Chains A and B, each alone.
Chain A
Amino acid sequence: MARADFLKVAALATGAVATGRILLAGSPSVASAARRSPHQDRDILNFLLLLEYLQAAFYKDAVNRGALHGDLARFAQVVAGHEKAHVIALRRKLGSHARRAPAFDFGNATSDPHRFAAAATKLEELAVGAFVGQGANLTRGAVLRVARIASVEGRHAAWVRDIQTHLPAPSAADAAIGQHAVASTLRALGFIKGGAS
């Protein structure tokens, strides 16, 4: 009902779209959002929690190894604290439903500065896309917490890109990354040790 009202507003703008893309009613994914529920929230938060575990462990490992210098070292130090706080916040929200952290193996990605910067960028972009993708699926009871983390992941991504003199904000809107794309990126990164969870 509420959604339909919005779509009516949006539907006033029909026809050719010169400046962007507008997607309206009838999409199955829009319909799926009607199924927002606390149960679904738990799945989503656990999905996001995995990424936070991964990031927290990644930066903690980088800080512990102490092989980074300058901007990157500062980045790792600051972000390690943030990701840990994100883990704690999501776990607190999930309570007894929180998944446990898997075991990780970062190889030299937490000691070699170039590999670290590249991997950190991938992890942050992955987090941004995953948070963007799931935010609208959450109930009102959970969305604020996740939004407050999503923007911080965006800041991390911009920061680590800027350190490498990459464009910190490459597009006017960040695209969602779905669950399967997240999983395949994680596979490609290979940081999560099999069976460890």
Chain B
Amino acid sequence: MISEPTIPSLEQLDATGALRESFAAVDGGSRRDFLWKGTLAGAGFLAALSTPAWAKGKGPSKSLDLLILRFGLTFEHLQAQFYEEGLRIGGFSEETKRWARVIGAHERAHVQIIRHVLGPKAIPSPFFDYHGVTEHEGAFTKTAVAMEDLTTALLIGLMPVLDSPSLAAALFSLLTVEARHAAWVRHDRGLLPVGKPFDDPKTIPEVNRLVASTHFMKSTPKTWSKNAPRFTG
């Protein structure tokens, strides 16, 4: 339970080549259709995202940007709490704490700003169960690498589907930071900080499936009730 993080490496995923094919199709022009279909096919992660605008038949571009921001918010929550929890309970070495403190602060800043941008349309944080990886330094570090690589891939994958230039500009300024995080943790771990000259993209459905496979996201435990209390009074 505590020995192995469950996010597969991106290299493993890229081995299928399916992603490159997908993006070749995307470059052909039907980006929106691709994302749309892929999104509907995705499982788990997106269940956490309600998309009322779609249901009301509003313009797809609006719901697309909204979807992306909500997805981003949930993903940043996933990361922010990961670092927070690791720092709190992991009992890690000073080297690990050094990057976890800074990266955790960045992810928290990302959560705050995206939540602010979404305003009333922000969705609450899911409940996370990291299955012990925040309590084991090796697993924590390994998962941090996978998570930062995945975030980098997600942001790259989003670029061609964004409608809003200002949203693209914001995500570009996050992209290079997430890539720095990945390189930093990799270097700390003795891995090559950058293995390839080009980072590979991932689509929202791809990321969705990956995150779902970790089972890190749970519904919030139901700790409230409407039953009449039976406390001693």
Do A and B touch, yes or no (CB under 8 Å, in the complex)? yes
User: What is the bound-complex CA distance between A19 and B199, given in angstroms?
Assistant: 30
Assess whether B164 is interfacial by the CB under 8 Å rule.
yes
| Contact code string B134-177 (vs A, CB < 8 Å = 1, else 0) | 00000000000000000010011001100111111110111111
Contact residue among B112, B180, B192, B200 (Cβ-Cβ distance under 8 Å from A157): B180
What is the interface residue range for chain A against chain B? Answer: 35 or more
CB-based contact A8/B62 at 8 Å = yes
Chain A hits for B99, CB < 8 A = 168
Given contacts A147-B159, A158-B184, A162-B187, contact A136 B165 (CB under 8 A): yes
B180 and A152 form a contact (CB under 8 A):
no
A contact residues around B103 at 8 Å (CB): 169
Cβ of A196 within 8 Å of any chain B Cβ, yes or no, is no
Q: Are B197 and A82 in contact (CB under 8 A)?
A: yes
Set A20, A22, A23, A159: member contacting B183, Cβ < 8 A: A159
Contact A155 B172 (CB under 8 A): no
* B173 near A132: Cβ-Cβ < 8 Å: yes
With a CB–CB cut-off of 8 A, which chain B residues contact A151? 152, 155-156, 175-176, 178-179, 199
Q: Is the CB of A143 within 8 A of B160?
A: yes
Contact residue among B117, B120, B201 (Cβ-Cβ distance under 8 Å from A144): B201
Contact of A136 among B102, B106, B172 (CB under 8 A): B172
Complex partner residue of B169 from A10, A18, A136, CB under 8 angstroms? A136
Contact residues of B: prevailing secondary structure: helix
Given known A136-B166, A151-B199, A162-B184, contact A9–B62 (CB-CB < 8 A): yes
The 8 Å CB contact of A158, one of B166, B172, B173, B193, is B193
Chain A residues 1 to 38 lying within 8 A of chain B, measured CB to CB, are 1-3, 5-10, 12-13, 17-20, 22-24, 30, 33-34, 36
The reply to whether A13 and B117 form a contact with Cβ atoms under 8 Å apart is yes
Q: B109 and A6: CB pair below 8 A?
A: no
* CB <8 Å contact, A158 and B183: yes
Contact across chains for A169 and B102 when beta carbons are under 8 A apart: yes
Question: Contact residue range for chain B?
Answer: 35 or more
Least CB distance from B20 to A in Å reads 11
> Are B110 and A135 within 8 A (Cβ)?
no
If A5-B163, A144-B201, A147-B155 touch, whether A169 touches B169 (CB-CB below 8 Å) is no
Beta-carbon contact of A9 and B66 below 8 Å: yes
Question: Cβ of A81 < 8 Å from any Cβ of B?
Answer: yes
- Which residues on B are within 8 Å of A, measured CB to CB? 23, 27, 31, 59, 61-62, 65-66, 69, 99, 102-103, 105-106, 109-110, 112-113, 116-121, 152, 155-156, 159-160, 163-170, 172-184, 187-188, 192-194, 196-201
24 contacts between A and B (CB under 8 A): A2-B62, A6-B164, A9-B66, A9-B117, A12-B118, A13-B116, A22-B113, A82-B194, A128-B176, A135-B169, A135-B172, A137-B165, A143-B159, A151-B176, A152-B197, A154-B175, A154-B176, A154-B180, A155-B182, A159-B193, A162-B193, A163-B187, A169-B177, A176-B169
Nearest 4 Cβ contacts at the A-B interface: A154-B176, A2-B163, A33-B165, A154-B179
Residues of A participating in the B interface, judged by any CB pair closer than 8 Å: 1-3, 5-10, 12-13, 17-20, 22-24, 30, 33-34, 36, 78-79, 81-86, 89, 128, 131-132, 135-137, 140-141, 143-144, 147-159, 162-163, 167-169, 171-176
| 12 further interface pairs, Cβ-Cβ under 8 Å (given A152-B198, A162-B188) | A2-B62, A8-B62, A79-B194, A132-B173, A140-B160, A151-B178, A152-B196, A155-B194, A158-B193, A159-B183, A162-B193, A169-B184
